[in-house]
Structure 1
Amino acid sequence: MPIRHCIVHLIDKKPDGSAAVLHARDSELAESQAMENLLADLNESYNAKQGKAWGFFHEESGAYPFSGWLKEYQDGGRDFTAFTRQAVEHLQKLMEESNLSIGGHVLFAHYQQGMTDYLAIALLHHSEGVTVTDALDVAPARHLDLGQLHLAARINLSEWQNNQQSKQYISFIKGKNGKKVSDYFRDFIGCQEGIDPPSETRTLLKAFSDFVESEDLAEEQAREKTKTLVDYASTQAKLGEPITLQELSGLIDEERPRAFYEHIRNKDYGLSPEIPPDKRTLSQFQRFTGRAEGLSISFEAHLLGSKVEYDEGRDMLIIRQLPTQLKDQLKRRKED
């Protein structure tokens, strides 16, 4: 993971309403193993975070100036240190206006992963701990607490530059339960939400269920394809990367690598070519299937207890809200 530029500034702001004080670094951080370890740990913590949102920049304006500064840096009009200094001064101003915010170390890192350039921005805090010294004494020690990462964003610089129609080149951590504590940080980036990962993931899983049903697959084949989808999507979520529909289609059916992709396009599910996976939605997806003597039953695990009820004592399944197509067939049969 080559690090192109990296710097840390400090905004000292207490939760007592006192003014925020900026301590800005005047030069980039030198390359080091510690810096590489920090960025790797930051990415791991960020990727594992639930409740991230994906979006794109507001149009540049006085209220949302960040994208203009970033473009100037990308175009070579200003160096990385000057860009981050102006950005952190803007963050300091927004932080002072927010009564819910406290200060911290502000990390800016421009790095490359594969062929893609990213800019990571995170507000970091310390935790107090203990360590054992070389003399075997126990001593207090402070460390960056990446497990408590609440304000952070990652911008896919390559996609921002090369795909003007994209609405998902920025990801950021959303406040839990709609807390406004993170709103000022989102406004600092100048980001608006463009894609709803849970909704997109649910639509993808619905498309997959329809595909499996339309292919009339054997039970074992259906289970294998389900496992392929969940494994791939979970891996992408762990890496912080989107699900690519064409890649997924090729994994689901190697002999017909475009079959699932064409199914999605022909049925017009409205899915983007790349989907940020939602881990919580994926964890709920599992199919119960069974066939016997002309009877075939298949449903998703999350329906158990709501639309589908299992009565073990009477060896029965109770199904509520039958599919319209099935009801129409039953009605026609009754009329006949």
Structure 2
Amino acid sequence: MSITNLIVHEIQKHEGERKAILIARPNENPIDGQAEALSEQVTNLFNRSGMTTGRFSNPEGSEEGSQLPALLNKHFKDNAFEDFETFSKNCAAEYLKYLEPVEEAEGGLLWFNHYELHDTHFLYIVMLKRKQGIGLGADLSLSQVEQIEVEKLHMALRINLNAWRAGDEGRYIAFRFGRAPKPESEYFTQFIGCDEPKVAAKETRKLVDLTSAFCQSEGISSKQANEFKKVVSEHCQSKAEEREPLEIKQIANEVESRFSVEQANKFLEIAESESFQMEKEIFVEKAALKKLTRLSGSSRALTLSFNSDLLGDSIHFNADTGTLTISDLPKSLLKQLQAL
């Protein structure tokens, strides 16, 4: 990651009040070791679970609604911000308009970071909070100091500027709310001006269900289905690690290479059906992939979970009686059973 522009503004507002004050920094923050360390910490927090994705309702900007796309159109040209300081101040002022009516919301530090990664330009807008910490002076005396809270993320958005500028139909905005309450997440979404936001975990679960539905509709054998699901999982894991969206067409291409062109078309047909209505590309949530390669279930007295490729091998299911037969038990469980 190569940081191009960085600036932090402060918004002062107390919970239970409507009045908010913007304290704007007069010039950009220096891009030094501390800035790079903070950027890395924010990125790591951002890439954890809980991401929501979308695109601008009006990518070109308009006089109504969110002014963020209009401000980007005005200031971001030829992969560079002509005046990042002015852009960020105008954005912060717009943010204030959505923040002030929400009495439950508090102020904080509004962090703007324009950076380049793999020849692609991104913009972070992040709400950071202060916290009290303990410092140690030169004379080894203890004192209270204010620090930036980096253990958890409050609210943040990331825009793929190249995809937005190119008019990409994909979901080029990613954002998350951390533990922000619903009123705050709503005003933040309005500030972004996002069209039909999608939760990555929910979209990933839809892909998992789509994969199973396809295997069932085509009568694919358990062994082939498990192998296919494992490949889909590997594709998804790779995209999640690269922080890139997964194209549904990539999975269809895998269907074509393993089965046939007709079945690849069938996969896309099911994906576009009313039951799934999959986007052309989705951001993957790793935690939601488990059902692709694992079978699990629980009741008050029993919890059972195993890799799906064990079915038909050391685990056999009798559909007529609804029973499982398990051989090759884990040694730890076997030892407990033998001690009874």
TM-score over 0.5 for the pair: yes
Match of 2:183 among 173, 177, 180: 180
Structure 2: segments with no counterpart, 5+ residues: 296-307, 327-340
Q: Distance in 1 between matches of 2:127 and 2:263?
A: 41
Structure 1-normalised TM-score?
0.74
Q: Distance in 1 between matches of 2:144 and 2:259?
A: 60
SS of aligned partner of 2:39: helix
Match of 2:55 in 1: 56
Deviation for aligned residue 1:239: 4.6
Amino acid at match of 1:66: L
After superposition, where does 1:202-217 map in structure 2 within 5 Å?
A: 202-212=205-215, 214=218, 216-217=220-221
Match of 1:97 in 2: 101
Match of 2:46 in 1: 46
Contact residue 48 and residue 238 of structure 1 kept, 8 A: no
Q: Distance in 2 between matches of 1:263 and 1:46?
A: 36
For residues 230-262 of structure 1, give each alpha carbon's deviation from its aligned partner in whole angstroms, at most 9, with x where no partner exists. 344234335532223355567789778989855
Contact residue 64 and residue 188 of structure 1 kept, 8 A: yes
RMSD: 3.6
Q: Distance in 2 between matches of 1:148 and 1:127?
A: 11
Contact residue 153 and residue 170 of structure 1 kept, 8 A: yes
Amino acid at match of 1:63: G
Match of 2:244 in 1: 241
After superposition, where does 1:285-324 map in structure 2 within 5 Å?
A: 285=292, 286-287=294-295, 288=308, 290-291=311-312
Match of 2:128 in 1: 124
For residues 109-157 of structure 1, give each alpha carbon's deviation from its aligned partner in whole angstroms, at most 9, with x where no partner exists. 1111112211110110022233556665554443322333122111111
Contact residue 233 and residue 277 of structure 1 kept, 8 A: yes
Deviation for aligned residue 1:271: 3.0
Contact residue 18 and residue 101 of structure 2 kept, 8 A: no
SS of aligned partner of 1:106: strand
Contact residue 291 and residue 297 of structure 1 kept, 8 A: no
Structure 2-normalised TM-score?
0.73
Change (3 A) 1:16 1:255: closer
How many residues get paired? Answer: 300
SS of aligned partner of 1:291: coil
Match of 2:278 among 271, 275, 278: 271
SS of aligned partner of 2:189: helix
Contact residue 8 and residue 107 of structure 1 kept, 8 A: yes
Change (3 A) 1:71 1:133: same
Contact residue 214 and residue 270 of structure 2 kept, 8 A: no
Match of 1:69 in 2: 71
Question: Structure 1 vs Structure 2: percent identity of aligned residues?
Answer: 24
Deviation for aligned residue 1:192: 2.5
Q: Distance in 2 between matches of 1:209 and 1:102?
A: 44
Structure 1 window deviating more from structure 2 (168-177 vs 102-111): it is: 168-177
Amino acid at match of 1:147: E
1:227 correspondence with 2:230: yes
